[in-house]
Amino acid sequence: MNVENLQAALPDIPRGFTALAEWLACLLCIFEMKRRFSGWRLAGVSAAFLAVLGTFLILTESMQGFWWVFCMGMAVGLMYFFLYLCCEVNAKDAGYYCVRAFAVAEFAASLEWQLDCFFRFSMGWEADWFRVFWLVAVYGLAYLAIWLMFRRYARAGQELMVENRELLSYIMIGFAIFCISNVGFMPWSTPFSGRYTAEIFNVRTLIDFGGVAILYAYHAQRMELLARHELESMENILHNQYAQYKQSQEAIDLINYKYHDLKHYIHALRAQENAQERNAYLDRMEQEIQNYEAQNKTGNQVLDTLLTSKRLYCLKNDISMTCVADGNLFHFMDVMDICSIFGNALDNAIECEKKIPDKEKRLIHVTACSQKNFLIVRFENYCEDSLDFQANLPRTTKKDARFHGYGLKSLRYTVRKYGGEVDVTNQGNWFSLKILIPIKNEGC
Protein backbone atom coordinates (compact mmCIF):
# COMPACT_ATOMS: atom_id res chain seq x y z
CA MET A 1 0.00 0.00 0.00
CA ASN A 2 1.53 3.37 -0.99
CA VAL A 3 1.64 6.47 1.16
CA GLU A 4 -1.44 8.05 -0.43
CA ASN A 5 -3.53 4.95 0.22
CA LEU A 6 -2.24 4.79 3.78
CA GLN A 7 -3.10 8.43 4.34
CA ALA A 8 -6.58 7.79 3.03
CA ALA A 9 -7.13 5.05 5.60
CA LEU A 10 -5.39 6.28 8.76
CA PRO A 11 -6.58 4.45 11.88
CA ASP A 12 -8.48 6.35 14.54
CA ILE A 13 -6.93 7.31 17.86
CA PRO A 14 -6.62 4.30 20.20
CA ARG A 15 -9.06 4.66 23.07
CA GLY A 16 -6.26 4.01 25.56
CA PHE A 17 -4.45 7.10 24.27
CA THR A 18 -7.68 9.10 24.56
CA ALA A 19 -8.19 7.95 28.14
CA LEU A 20 -4.63 8.95 29.03
CA ALA A 21 -5.10 12.39 27.46
CA GLU A 22 -8.35 13.00 29.36
CA TRP A 23 -6.81 11.78 32.61
CA LEU A 24 -3.83 14.13 32.28
CA ALA A 25 -6.10 17.06 31.40
CA CYS A 26 -8.14 16.42 34.54
CA LEU A 27 -4.99 16.31 36.66
CA LEU A 28 -3.94 19.73 35.36
CA CYS A 29 -7.24 21.15 36.53
CA ILE A 30 -7.13 19.34 39.87
CA PHE A 31 -3.81 20.93 40.77
CA GLU A 32 -5.37 24.37 40.27
CA MET A 33 -8.14 23.68 42.78
CA LYS A 34 -8.35 23.02 46.49
CA ARG A 35 -8.10 19.23 46.77
CA ARG A 36 -9.96 16.88 49.08
CA PHE A 37 -7.14 14.34 48.93
CA SER A 38 -3.39 14.53 48.80
CA GLY A 39 -0.44 12.19 48.66
CA TRP A 40 -1.16 8.49 48.28
CA ARG A 41 -4.92 8.93 48.54
CA LEU A 42 -4.97 11.27 45.56
CA ALA A 43 -2.65 8.95 43.65
CA GLY A 44 -4.90 5.97 44.39
CA VAL A 45 -8.09 7.75 43.33
CA SER A 46 -6.38 9.03 40.17
CA ALA A 47 -5.11 5.57 39.24
CA ALA A 48 -8.55 4.08 39.80
CA PHE A 49 -10.14 6.73 37.58
CA LEU A 50 -7.61 6.09 34.81
CA ALA A 51 -8.36 2.37 34.97
CA VAL A 52 -12.15 2.92 34.88
CA LEU A 53 -12.00 5.49 32.09
CA GLY A 54 -9.57 3.43 30.01
CA THR A 55 -11.62 0.25 30.42
CA PHE A 56 -14.83 2.05 29.46
CA LEU A 57 -13.38 3.64 26.33
CA ILE A 58 -11.66 0.43 25.18
CA LEU A 59 -14.81 -1.65 25.67
CA THR A 60 -16.87 0.87 23.66
CA GLU A 61 -14.29 1.25 20.89
CA SER A 62 -16.52 -0.41 18.29
CA MET A 63 -19.40 2.02 18.84
CA GLN A 64 -20.31 4.15 15.83
CA GLY A 65 -22.57 7.08 15.07
CA PHE A 66 -24.98 8.02 17.82
CA TRP A 67 -23.58 5.48 20.25
CA TRP A 68 -20.07 6.83 19.75
CA VAL A 69 -21.32 10.32 20.64
CA PHE A 70 -23.15 8.87 23.64
CA CYS A 71 -20.00 7.11 24.86
CA MET A 72 -18.00 10.34 24.55
CA GLY A 73 -20.67 12.05 26.63
CA MET A 74 -20.30 9.32 29.24
CA ALA A 75 -16.54 9.87 29.25
CA VAL A 76 -17.11 13.59 29.89
CA GLY A 77 -19.42 12.62 32.74
CA LEU A 78 -16.69 10.47 34.26
CA MET A 79 -14.25 13.37 33.96
CA TYR A 80 -16.71 15.66 35.74
CA PHE A 81 -17.20 13.11 38.52
CA PHE A 82 -13.42 12.76 38.91
CA LEU A 83 -12.94 16.53 39.24
CA TYR A 84 -15.83 16.93 41.67
CA LEU A 85 -14.68 13.97 43.76
CA CYS A 86 -11.07 15.08 44.14
CA CYS A 87 -11.63 18.79 44.74
CA GLU A 88 -13.54 20.98 47.17
CA VAL A 89 -15.40 22.74 44.41
CA ASN A 90 -19.01 23.60 43.62
CA ALA A 91 -20.88 22.00 40.74
CA LYS A 92 -20.59 25.00 38.39
CA ASP A 93 -16.85 25.41 38.88
CA ALA A 94 -16.37 21.67 38.32
CA GLY A 95 -18.31 21.91 35.05
CA TYR A 96 -16.21 24.88 33.95
CA TYR A 97 -12.98 22.96 34.55
CA CYS A 98 -14.43 19.84 32.89
CA VAL A 99 -15.09 21.67 29.63
CA ARG A 100 -11.52 22.91 29.55
CA ALA A 101 -10.11 19.47 30.40
CA PHE A 102 -12.09 17.80 27.62
CA ALA A 103 -11.05 20.36 24.97
CA VAL A 104 -7.40 20.15 26.00
CA ALA A 105 -7.51 16.34 25.92
CA GLU A 106 -9.05 16.35 22.43
CA PHE A 107 -6.29 18.61 21.16
CA ALA A 108 -3.43 16.68 22.79
CA ALA A 109 -4.72 13.29 21.63
CA SER A 110 -5.35 14.49 18.07
CA LEU A 111 -1.94 16.17 17.78
CA GLU A 112 -0.03 13.16 19.12
CA TRP A 113 -1.82 10.62 16.93
CA GLN A 114 -1.49 12.69 13.79
CA LEU A 115 2.27 13.01 14.31
CA ASP A 116 2.53 9.33 15.23
CA CYS A 117 0.81 8.30 12.00
CA PHE A 118 2.97 10.64 9.95
CA PHE A 119 6.24 9.19 11.24
CA ARG A 120 4.98 5.60 10.94
CA PHE A 121 3.44 5.73 7.48
CA SER A 122 5.45 8.47 5.82
CA MET A 123 8.83 8.05 7.49
CA GLY A 124 8.68 4.36 8.31
CA TRP A 125 9.55 4.86 11.98
CA GLU A 126 7.54 1.99 13.43
CA ALA A 127 9.68 0.94 16.41
CA ASP A 128 7.65 0.54 19.59
CA TRP A 129 10.21 2.41 21.68
CA PHE A 130 9.95 5.42 19.37
CA ARG A 131 6.17 5.45 19.56
CA VAL A 132 6.30 5.37 23.37
CA PHE A 133 8.91 8.12 23.39
CA TRP A 134 6.82 10.20 21.00
CA LEU A 135 3.69 9.72 23.12
CA VAL A 136 5.49 10.90 26.27
CA ALA A 137 7.16 13.80 24.47
CA VAL A 138 4.06 15.18 22.74
CA TYR A 139 1.80 14.81 25.77
CA GLY A 140 4.49 16.24 28.03
CA LEU A 141 5.13 19.30 25.88
CA ALA A 142 1.44 19.88 25.13
CA TYR A 143 0.34 19.74 28.75
CA LEU A 144 3.33 21.77 29.92
CA ALA A 145 2.36 24.50 27.46
CA ILE A 146 -1.27 24.37 28.62
CA TRP A 147 -0.21 24.52 32.27
CA LEU A 148 2.03 27.54 31.65
CA MET A 149 -0.80 29.29 29.85
CA PHE A 150 -3.45 28.82 32.51
CA ARG A 151 -1.26 29.11 35.62
CA ARG A 152 -1.10 32.87 35.10
CA TYR A 153 -4.76 33.07 36.06
CA ALA A 154 -4.78 30.34 38.71
CA ARG A 155 -6.40 31.47 41.97
CA ALA A 156 -4.42 29.27 44.39
CA GLY A 157 -7.29 27.02 45.41
CA GLN A 158 -9.95 29.74 45.41
CA GLU A 159 -13.34 29.32 43.83
CA LEU A 160 -13.90 30.70 40.34
CA MET A 161 -17.45 31.74 41.30
CA VAL A 162 -18.74 30.81 37.84
CA GLU A 163 -22.20 32.12 37.05
CA ASN A 164 -24.85 30.17 35.13
CA ARG A 165 -24.46 32.26 31.98
CA GLU A 166 -20.68 31.90 32.04
CA LEU A 167 -20.90 28.15 32.46
CA LEU A 168 -23.46 27.89 29.65
CA SER A 169 -21.22 29.94 27.34
CA TYR A 170 -18.21 27.77 28.16
CA ILE A 171 -20.20 24.57 27.53
CA MET A 172 -21.46 25.89 24.20
CA ILE A 173 -17.90 26.74 23.11
CA GLY A 174 -16.67 23.28 24.13
CA PHE A 175 -19.58 21.54 22.44
CA ALA A 176 -19.03 23.52 19.22
CA ILE A 177 -15.35 22.58 19.23
CA PHE A 178 -16.17 18.90 19.61
CA CYS A 179 -18.86 18.89 16.92
CA ILE A 180 -16.87 20.82 14.30
CA SER A 181 -13.64 18.90 14.87
CA ASN A 182 -15.32 15.48 14.66
CA VAL A 183 -18.06 15.99 12.06
CA GLY A 184 -15.76 14.74 9.30
CA PHE A 185 -15.56 11.31 10.98
CA MET A 186 -19.31 10.74 10.99
CA PRO A 187 -20.18 7.50 9.11
CA TRP A 188 -23.22 9.06 7.48
CA SER A 189 -22.96 11.53 4.62
CA THR A 190 -23.04 15.21 5.54
CA PRO A 191 -22.06 18.39 3.68
CA PHE A 192 -19.03 18.57 5.99
CA SER A 193 -17.85 14.96 5.68
CA GLY A 194 -14.38 14.38 4.25
CA ARG A 195 -13.01 11.79 1.82
CA TYR A 196 -9.44 11.62 3.03
CA THR A 197 -8.67 10.73 6.63
CA ALA A 198 -5.34 12.58 6.68
CA GLU A 199 -6.99 15.88 5.74
CA ILE A 200 -9.72 15.28 8.30
CA PHE A 201 -7.03 14.72 10.93
CA ASN A 202 -5.40 18.00 9.94
CA VAL A 203 -8.67 19.86 10.24
CA ARG A 204 -9.51 18.25 13.58
CA THR A 205 -6.13 19.08 15.12
CA LEU A 206 -6.28 22.68 13.94
CA ILE A 207 -9.86 23.12 15.14
CA ASP A 208 -9.00 21.63 18.54
CA PHE A 209 -6.01 23.96 18.78
CA GLY A 210 -8.19 26.95 17.90
CA GLY A 211 -10.80 25.78 20.39
CA VAL A 212 -8.27 25.61 23.23
CA ALA A 213 -7.11 29.11 22.27
CA ILE A 214 -10.71 30.38 22.40
CA LEU A 215 -11.32 28.79 25.80
CA TYR A 216 -8.09 30.28 27.08
CA ALA A 217 -9.01 33.75 25.78
CA TYR A 218 -12.47 33.47 27.39
CA HIS A 219 -10.95 32.34 30.68
CA ALA A 220 -8.27 35.06 30.62
CA GLN A 221 -10.84 37.76 29.94
CA ARG A 222 -13.11 36.47 32.68
CA MET A 223 -10.32 36.29 35.27
CA GLU A 224 -9.07 39.78 34.41
CA LEU A 225 -12.58 41.19 34.78
CA LEU A 226 -12.97 39.35 38.09
CA ALA A 227 -9.62 40.67 39.35
CA ARG A 228 -10.56 44.19 38.27
CA HIS A 229 -13.89 43.89 40.06
CA GLU A 230 -12.17 42.67 43.24
CA LEU A 231 -9.69 45.53 43.12
CA GLU A 232 -12.45 48.07 42.58
CA SER A 233 -14.45 46.55 45.44
CA MET A 234 -11.45 46.72 47.79
CA GLU A 235 -10.74 50.32 46.77
CA ASN A 236 -14.39 51.22 47.40
CA ILE A 237 -14.20 49.61 50.83
CA LEU A 238 -11.01 51.55 51.56
CA HIS A 239 -12.57 54.86 50.56
CA ASN A 240 -15.74 54.05 52.50
CA GLN A 241 -13.70 53.37 55.63
CA TYR A 242 -11.92 56.69 55.16
CA ALA A 243 -15.25 58.47 54.64
CA GLN A 244 -16.57 56.88 57.84
CA TYR A 245 -13.47 58.10 59.64
CA LYS A 246 -14.01 61.68 58.45
CA GLN A 247 -17.66 61.57 59.53
CA SER A 248 -16.71 60.10 62.89
CA GLN A 249 -14.06 62.76 63.39
CA GLU A 250 -16.60 65.52 62.84
CA ALA A 251 -19.10 63.87 65.20
CA ILE A 252 -16.51 63.27 67.91
CA ASP A 253 -15.22 66.86 67.62
CA LEU A 254 -18.77 68.05 68.16
CA ILE A 255 -19.10 65.81 71.23
CA ASN A 256 -15.81 67.14 72.59
CA TYR A 257 -17.08 70.69 72.26
CA LYS A 258 -20.25 69.80 74.13
CA TYR A 259 -18.36 68.07 76.92
CA HIS A 260 -15.99 71.03 77.17
CA ASP A 261 -18.96 73.35 77.61
CA LEU A 262 -20.48 70.96 80.14
CA LYS A 263 -17.40 71.25 82.34
CA HIS A 264 -17.96 75.00 82.53
CA TYR A 265 -21.57 74.37 83.55
CA ILE A 266 -20.37 72.10 86.34
CA HIS A 267 -17.95 74.75 87.64
CA ALA A 268 -20.76 77.28 87.60
CA LEU A 269 -22.99 74.97 89.61
CA ARG A 270 -20.24 74.37 92.17
CA ALA A 271 -20.06 78.12 92.78
CA GLN A 272 -23.61 78.01 94.04
CA GLU A 273 -24.72 76.70 97.44
CA ASN A 274 -25.91 73.13 96.81
CA ALA A 275 -26.88 70.16 98.88
CA GLN A 276 -24.41 67.32 99.50
CA GLU A 277 -26.32 65.01 97.16
CA ARG A 278 -26.00 67.50 94.34
CA ASN A 279 -22.25 67.74 94.83
CA ALA A 280 -22.02 63.95 94.70
CA TYR A 281 -23.99 63.98 91.47
CA LEU A 282 -21.70 66.58 89.98
CA ASP A 283 -18.70 64.55 91.08
CA ARG A 284 -20.02 61.56 89.18
CA MET A 285 -20.64 63.68 86.09
CA GLU A 286 -17.12 65.03 86.21
CA GLN A 287 -15.69 61.55 86.65
CA GLU A 288 -17.63 60.30 83.63
CA ILE A 289 -16.30 63.20 81.57
CA GLN A 290 -12.74 62.38 82.65
CA ASN A 291 -13.30 58.74 81.73
CA TYR A 292 -14.56 59.78 78.30
CA GLU A 293 -11.58 62.06 77.76
CA ALA A 294 -9.19 59.31 78.77
CA GLN A 295 -10.62 56.56 76.57
CA ASN A 296 -8.91 55.66 73.30
CA LYS A 297 -6.08 58.13 73.77
CA THR A 298 -3.54 56.09 71.85
CA GLY A 299 -1.29 58.91 70.67
CA ASN A 300 -2.58 58.72 67.09
CA GLN A 301 -5.48 61.02 66.21
CA VAL A 302 -6.71 58.86 63.35
CA LEU A 303 -6.70 55.75 65.50
CA ASP A 304 -8.36 57.60 68.39
CA THR A 305 -11.20 58.70 66.14
CA LEU A 306 -11.73 55.24 64.67
CA LEU A 307 -11.67 53.44 68.00
CA THR A 308 -13.98 55.95 69.65
CA SER A 309 -16.45 55.70 66.78
CA LYS A 310 -16.44 51.92 66.87
CA ARG A 311 -16.70 51.90 70.67
CA LEU A 312 -19.79 54.12 70.57
CA TYR A 313 -21.35 51.80 67.99
CA CYS A 314 -20.51 48.82 70.20
CA LEU A 315 -22.14 50.44 73.21
CA LYS A 316 -25.27 51.03 71.17
CA ASN A 317 -25.37 47.32 70.25
CA ASP A 318 -24.44 45.96 73.71
CA ILE A 319 -20.96 44.84 72.62
CA SER A 320 -18.06 45.03 75.05
CA MET A 321 -14.96 46.34 73.30
CA THR A 322 -11.56 46.74 74.96
CA CYS A 323 -8.47 48.22 73.39
CA VAL A 324 -4.82 48.50 74.41
CA ALA A 325 -2.88 50.15 71.60
CA ASP A 326 0.14 52.36 71.13
CA GLY A 327 -0.89 54.68 68.32
CA ASN A 328 2.63 56.06 67.90
CA LEU A 329 3.62 52.76 66.25
CA PHE A 330 1.54 53.66 63.19
CA HIS A 331 3.56 56.78 62.33
CA PHE A 332 4.79 55.29 59.04
CA MET A 333 1.34 54.36 57.75
CA ASP A 334 -0.98 56.41 55.56
CA VAL A 335 -4.25 57.64 57.07
CA MET A 336 -6.37 55.69 54.57
CA ASP A 337 -4.43 52.49 55.27
CA ILE A 338 -5.02 52.81 59.03
CA CYS A 339 -8.70 53.30 58.29
CA SER A 340 -8.72 50.22 56.05
CA ILE A 341 -7.05 47.93 58.59
CA PHE A 342 -8.97 48.93 61.71
CA GLY A 343 -12.23 49.73 59.93
CA ASN A 344 -12.48 46.41 58.11
CA ALA A 345 -11.26 44.31 61.05
CA LEU A 346 -13.64 45.93 63.55
CA ASP A 347 -16.59 45.93 61.13
CA ASN A 348 -16.05 42.21 60.59
CA ALA A 349 -15.87 41.59 64.37
CA ILE A 350 -18.92 43.75 65.12
CA GLU A 351 -20.97 42.00 62.43
CA CYS A 352 -20.11 38.67 64.04
CA GLU A 353 -20.95 39.83 67.57
CA LYS A 354 -24.35 41.22 66.58
CA LYS A 355 -25.41 37.68 65.64
CA ILE A 356 -24.77 36.33 69.17
CA PRO A 357 -28.04 36.21 71.19
CA ASP A 358 -26.32 36.29 74.60
CA LYS A 359 -25.18 39.89 75.07
CA GLU A 360 -22.74 38.86 77.80
CA LYS A 361 -20.71 36.99 75.16
CA ARG A 362 -20.42 39.91 72.76
CA LEU A 363 -16.73 40.61 73.31
CA ILE A 364 -14.07 42.28 71.18
CA HIS A 365 -10.41 42.76 72.18
CA VAL A 366 -7.93 44.90 70.26
CA THR A 367 -4.21 45.15 70.98
CA ALA A 368 -1.38 46.88 69.13
CA CYS A 369 2.24 46.65 70.28
CA SER A 370 5.75 46.29 68.93
CA GLN A 371 8.18 43.41 69.25
CA LYS A 372 11.63 43.15 67.65
CA ASN A 373 10.95 46.00 65.24
CA PHE A 374 7.61 44.51 64.15
CA LEU A 375 4.18 46.01 64.62
CA ILE A 376 1.77 43.39 65.95
CA VAL A 377 -1.95 44.12 65.80
CA ARG A 378 -4.43 41.55 67.08
CA PHE A 379 -8.22 41.60 66.79
CA GLU A 380 -10.10 38.95 68.79
CA ASN A 381 -13.82 38.42 69.10
CA TYR A 382 -16.09 35.72 70.46
CA CYS A 383 -17.49 33.59 67.66
CA GLU A 384 -19.97 30.73 67.77
CA ASP A 385 -20.06 30.07 64.02
CA SER A 386 -18.13 27.30 62.30
CA LEU A 387 -16.13 29.12 59.63
CA ASP A 388 -14.91 27.70 56.35
CA PHE A 389 -11.52 29.05 55.30
CA GLN A 390 -10.34 29.66 51.76
CA ALA A 391 -6.92 31.07 50.83
CA ASN A 392 -6.26 31.64 54.58
CA LEU A 393 -9.32 33.89 54.92
CA PRO A 394 -12.81 32.95 56.15
CA ARG A 395 -15.31 32.40 53.36
CA THR A 396 -18.17 34.88 53.40
CA THR A 397 -21.43 33.55 54.86
CA LYS A 398 -23.60 35.75 52.67
CA LYS A 399 -25.62 34.06 49.94
CA ASP A 400 -24.10 36.04 47.08
CA ALA A 401 -20.41 35.33 47.62
CA ARG A 402 -19.54 36.96 44.32
CA PHE A 403 -20.08 40.47 45.67
CA HIS A 404 -19.15 40.00 49.32
CA GLY A 405 -16.15 38.99 51.39
CA TYR A 406 -13.88 41.79 50.18
CA GLY A 407 -13.41 43.47 53.59
CA LEU A 408 -10.69 41.13 54.80
CA LYS A 409 -9.23 40.92 51.30
CA SER A 410 -8.91 44.70 51.31
CA LEU A 411 -7.29 44.52 54.75
CA ARG A 412 -4.77 41.91 53.60
CA TYR A 413 -4.06 43.92 50.45
CA THR A 414 -3.28 46.98 52.59
CA VAL A 415 -1.08 45.04 55.02
CA ARG A 416 0.96 43.51 52.20
CA LYS A 417 1.66 47.00 50.85
CA TYR A 418 3.90 47.43 53.91
CA GLY A 419 5.54 44.03 53.58
CA GLY A 420 3.32 42.53 56.28
CA GLU A 421 1.15 39.45 56.53
CA VAL A 422 -2.21 38.45 57.99
CA ASP A 423 -2.94 35.29 59.98
CA VAL A 424 -6.51 34.24 60.75
CA THR A 425 -7.53 31.47 63.17
CA ASN A 426 -10.78 30.30 64.74
CA GLN A 427 -10.28 28.15 67.84
CA GLY A 428 -12.25 27.62 71.01
CA ASN A 429 -15.07 30.00 70.04
CA TRP A 430 -12.55 32.80 69.50
CA PHE A 431 -11.88 34.36 66.12
CA SER A 432 -8.41 35.87 65.98
CA LEU A 433 -6.98 38.12 63.28
CA LYS A 434 -3.26 38.80 63.74
CA ILE A 435 -1.33 41.34 61.67
CA LEU A 436 2.46 41.47 61.52
CA ILE A 437 4.12 44.46 59.80
CA PRO A 438 7.79 45.49 59.84
CA ILE A 439 8.11 48.97 61.36
CA LYS A 440 9.64 51.53 59.05
CA ASN A 441 11.44 54.38 60.74
CA GLU A 442 11.18 57.75 59.04
CA GLY A 443 14.89 58.34 59.37
CA CYS A 444 15.83 55.14 57.53
SS (H, E, C) the chain: CCHHHHHHCCCCCCHHHHHHHHHHHHHHHHCCCCECCCHHHHHHHHHHHHHHHHHHHHHCCCCCCHHHHHHHHHHHHHHHHHHHHHECCCHHHHHHHHHHHHHHHHHHHHHHHHHHHHHHHHCCCCCHHHHHHHHHHHHHHHHHHHHHHHHCCCCCCCCCCCCHHHHHHHHHHHHHHHHHHHHHHCCCCCCCCCCCHHHHHHHHHHHHHHHHHHHHHHHHHHHHHHHHHHHHHHHHHHHHHHHHHHHHHHHHHHHHHHHHHHHHHHHHHHCCCCCHHHHHHHHHHHHHHHHHHHCCCCCCHHHHHHHHHHHHHHHHCCCEEEEEECHHHHCCCCHHHHHHHHHHHHHHHHHHHCCCCCHHHCEEEEEEEEECCEEEEEEEEECCCCCCEECCEECCCCCCHHHCCHHHHHHHHHHHHCCCEEEEEEECCEEEEEEEEECCCCCC
Please report, in tens digits, the pLDDT of each residue of the chain (444 residues total): 343 443 445 567 888 888 999 999 999 989 888 888 888 998 999 999 999 999 998 888 887 777 878 888 899 999 999 999 998 888 888 899 999 999 999 999 888 888 888 777 777 777 777 788 888 998 999 999 989 888 887 766 566 778 888 889 888 988 888 888 776 555 444 444 444 455 667 778 888 888 888 888 888 888 777 777 666 656 665 566 666 666 556 556 656 655 666 666 666 666 666 566 566 666 666 665 555 554 567 778 778 878 877 887 787 788 888 888 888 888 888 887 888 888 888 888 888 888 888 888 899 999 999 988 899 999 999 988 766 655 556 655 555 444 445 677 778 888 888 889 988 888 888 888 999 999 876 443
pTM: 0.59
